[in-house]
Structure 1
Amino acid sequence: MSAPSVARAAIALRTEFFVMGVLFATWGVHVPTVKAHYGLGEQSLALAMLASGVGALGALAYAGRIVGRFGPRVIAAVMGCVSCAAIASLLLSSHYVALIAVMLVFGSFGSLFDVALNAEASEIEALTGRPLMSGFHGMFSLGGMAGAGLGSAAPALGLAAQHHLLLATGAAALAALAASRAMLPVPEKAGEEKHPLSLPRGPLLLLGVLASMGLIAEGAMYDWSVLFMKQERGSEAATAALAYASFSGAMAAGRFGGDWVRARMSGTRLMRLSGVMGAAGMALALAVPSPTVGLLGFALVGLGLSNVVPVLFSAASQTPGVSPAHGIAAVSGVGYLGMMAGPPLIGLIAEYSSLTWGLLVVVAFAGFMALSAQRAMRGR
């Protein structure tokens, strides 16, 4: 593989990660909109989020096989566009069943998009011989910040929610299609797993458990941070959207510096520090009744969690005897299995108490991630 081809592929992959970040942010800033549009309580909203997790978990059972057969380039183009279409249709119906269907589609196709991008990232890391995964994931966070920024500006620009959804997802779909043309075809290698995903064991299971802790905390920021600012702190829509932007901006900064950190710090120590910072940031946002302090707390959570997924996916992709796509899918599967319990648990607590008490789950899981890092990352 020529160096120019790899360089073009790296640029294309950064664009794809940016697109995925925009999609997640567009969903995140419209959680309050969806809640109001469908007339939902926290528990019903949490169940819709759970539908996304169920769809993701079902798709991940075959993700390694599908990505291995068709290659990341094809999967990124198709799944990226379908994911965009799902987010664009969030408000097209007023029926709760339709929302559940949309979230199932977004979860399943979005997870395949995710695995394809991470498999390509692993291949580019191998071809260049240096850590790049954190930087790729930094573009996801940058996309999240851009998507949240556009969502925050939309009301001031007089842009209706549906028009914003169409604008953001339409641009994202075009970018995903254009970038996929320069991605590398990564063929499935002989002798690697071809069966559907089952519960991983050994090193992959431990990495998956750690991923579930990080993804529960990270997913809570995507799904609940904007609603928390609007509902618990009384913020205007534009200010509330900045919760996601501050989280994603700090996460982007942490990830762009993450490859430098990974080259100088053990995975165990990095995971431990990540958990401590994530728990401390969330505790700060919940304890101090100030929108400004809340934004600072969300930024600390983003910085703390910034390198959890890149480090774990990179480790999973290097598991002996397992293809990168299968390793990433296995760790993602356990991670999503854990994350599926997060939104409904937070929503259930919020329904009967408050969202502040519900988000204490983030503090607990981030703290547990710090405590379990030594065992899960042993020898890494």
Structure 2
Amino acid sequence: MGRPRMAVSAAFFCFGTIAGSLVPRMPAFKESLGLSDGQVGLVFLAYAVGAVAGAALARPVMAWGARRLVRGGTLVILALLIGPAVAPVFGLFALSFFLLGILGGFLDVLENSQAAEMERQAGRPMINGFHGFWSVGFIAGAVGSAVAASLGIGPLPHYMLVAVVVGAVSVPLLSGLPDTRGGATTMLPSGTTRWRIGTAVVGVSAIAFLGIMVESGGGDWGPIYLRDVGQTGLGLAATVGVAFALAMTAVRFTADRFTARTSPAVVAATGALVSATGVGVAIAFPAPLTAIAGFMLVGAGCAVMVPLAFSAGANLARSGTALSIVTGAGYAGSIVGPFLIGSTSDRVGLRTALAIPLAAALAVLVSAVSLRPPSRGTDSLLVEPGAEGVVK
């Protein structure tokens, strides 16, 4: 593994560790602040709104070069991780997630741009592998969260330790990042119309929107579902994040080979089907073991949907505008999903509310099948590195 590739992998790992440290502690935050499911949904909404803003901000500054922005942004988001741990009331708690979202969306666009550049240089699918390192980081963070919750360690000392350790290792590891300044210049055939480019961006954005709705439904709400519906303790509830991330990681480190043998559309459709099955299992069988198994299937299925959409977005426009739009659409899914799940849960219960990510997974399946070309060389909406045209 060359130095730039290693640095991009490390950047995804650091970002994943932050996410893995944050989400599994939500049951503890919910209890300490006395939050309802609807308020939890609003907190996730605040993060998603911030992420959309951060993704939009990344587009104009990418021309300055992504290396320093990713290195500095990683340190800033680690500092902001302390915010939720010290927030005394719901309003400040939601504000801390909004600020985390701004940095999260900003880093998401920049890191995926760097990953897509590595893909183009290699001429083969690599995006799922990079997101696999994000998942490894998420596992590390989630394990730390589960251990801290089981030992009764509060979020503040836990997050301070995460900030110090991840910040210290990020300084040398991220020094070799590529200084990406935009998207692809040659992935679309000459003469491609603005209408065709716009159609491609809309189609890929839809996959990102729905895919992140599914991922949010499993990863964000899984611990709360196990706590409230499965009637488990905080420690076991936090392990849902670990199980979810383990399944996601295993798939991501193997999905690039599957993509190379088939097509991005086939892989996305398969992932959607697996995710839908997992949500269905969790709804039908809420006992701890079966619910955890269901959320593992959700993690395995949604592992491929968002990386493929982000890779396609990075290869649809030179300036990086398409990737910003696709990333923003993905986080819009994080806006709509938590709000719908939280508000629906307050009215009819979280078990029924999980029908929302189930429907989103089925919509991805239908979309991906409709985008699958009848034969090689036929235009579609998902881009594969090394292929000439919009999609394999």
Q: With the length of structure 1 as denominator, give the TM-score of the two structures.
A: 0.91
Residue correspondence of structure 1 range 206-225 to structure 2 within 5 A:
206-225=203-222
1:130, CA displacement in angstroms?
2.3
Query: Are positions 1:353 and 2:354 aligned together?
Result: no
1:222, CA displacement in angstroms?
2.8
Query: Aligned to 2:198, what secondary structure does the other structure show?
Result: coil
1:151, CA displacement in angstroms?
1.1
Query: Are positions 1:292 and 2:289 aligned together?
Result: yes
1:214, CA displacement in angstroms?
0.4
Match of 2:32 among 34, 37, 40: 37
For 1:294, give the aligned amino acid: A
Alpha-carbon spacing, 1:222–1:84, altered in 2? closer, same or farther (3 Å): farther
Name the structure 2 match of 1:3.
none
Match of 1:24 among 16, 19, 22: 19
Query: Percentage identity across aligned positions?
Result: 27
- Looking at structure 2, the residues matched to 240 and 87 of structure 1 have their Cα atoms a distance apart, in angstroms, of 21
1:76, CA displacement in angstroms?
1.0
Name the structure 2 match of 1:101.
95
1:190, CA displacement in angstroms?
11
Query: Are positions 1:232 and 2:226 aligned together?
Result: no
Deviations 1:117-143 (A, max 9, x none): 111111111222222111000011111
Match of 2:110 among 107, 116, 138: 116
Name the structure 1 match of 2:193.
none
Alpha-carbon spacing, 1:47–1:289, altered in 2? closer, same or farther (3 Å): closer
Name the structure 2 match of 1:374.
369
Name the structure 1 match of 2:336.
341
Say whether the 8 Å CA contact 1:52–1:105 is kept in structure 2.
yes
Name the structure 2 match of 1:269.
266
- Looking at structure 2, the residues matched to 83 and 201 of structure 1 have their Cα atoms a distance apart, in angstroms, of 33
Deviations 1:155-182 (A, max 9, x none): 3445333211211232222233332211
For 1:245, give the aligned amino acid: V
- Looking at structure 2, the residues matched to 210 and 339 of structure 1 have their Cα atoms a distance apart, in angstroms, of 13
Name the structure 2 match of 1:185.
179
1:188, CA displacement in angstroms?
4.7
- Looking at structure 1, the residues matched to 45 and 252 of structure 2 have their Cα atoms a distance apart, in angstroms, of 27
Name the structure 1 match of 2:313.
316
Say whether the 8 Å CA contact 2:205–2:327 is kept in structure 1.
yes
Residue correspondence of structure 1 range 131-170 to structure 2 within 5 A:
131-170=125-164
Name the structure 1 match of 2:278.
281
Say whether the 8 Å CA contact 2:226–2:232 is kept in structure 1.
yes
- Looking at structure 2, the residues matched to 189 and 366 of structure 1 have their Cα atoms a distance apart, in angstroms, of 28
Say whether the 8 Å CA contact 1:37–1:94 is kept in structure 2.
no
Match of 1:301 among 262, 287, 298: 298
Give the paired residue count.
Answer: 365
Say whether the 8 Å CA contact 1:283–1:363 is kept in structure 2.
yes
Alpha-carbon spacing, 1:222–1:174, altered in 2? closer, same or farther (3 Å): farther
Query: Could you tell which deviates more after superposition, 84-93 or 15-24?
Result: 84-93
1:357, CA displacement in angstroms?
1.1
Unpaired runs of 5+ in structure 2? 187-196, 373-379, 381-390
- Looking at structure 1, the residues matched to 198 and 32 of structure 2 have their Cα atoms a distance apart, in angstroms, of 43
Name the structure 1 match of 2:80.
86
Query: Could you tell which deviates more after superposition, 293-302 or 171-180?
Result: 171-180
- Looking at structure 2, the residues matched to 273 and 20 of structure 1 have their Cα atoms a distance apart, in angstroms, of 26
Say whether the 8 Å CA contact 1:133–1:314 is kept in structure 2.
yes
Say whether the 8 Å CA contact 1:16–1:175 is kept in structure 2.
no
Deviations 1:25-66 (A, max 9, x none): 111111112212222111112112111111111222232211
Query: Aligned to 1:186, what secondary structure does the other structure show?
Result: coil
- Looking at structure 1, the residues matched to 243 and 360 of structure 2 have their Cα atoms a distance apart, in angstroms, of 21
Say whether the 8 Å CA contact 2:15–2:134 is kept in structure 1.
yes
For 2:93, give the aligned amino acid: L
Say whether the 8 Å CA contact 1:283–1:297 is kept in structure 2.
yes
Alpha-carbon spacing, 1:155–1:31, altered in 2? closer, same or farther (3 Å): closer
For 2:42, give the aligned amino acid: L
- Looking at structure 2, the residues matched to 99 and 51 of structure 1 have their Cα atoms a distance apart, in angstroms, of 10
Name the structure 2 match of 1:259.
256
Query: Are positions 1:326 and 2:321 aligned together?
Result: yes
For 1:309, give the aligned amino acid: V
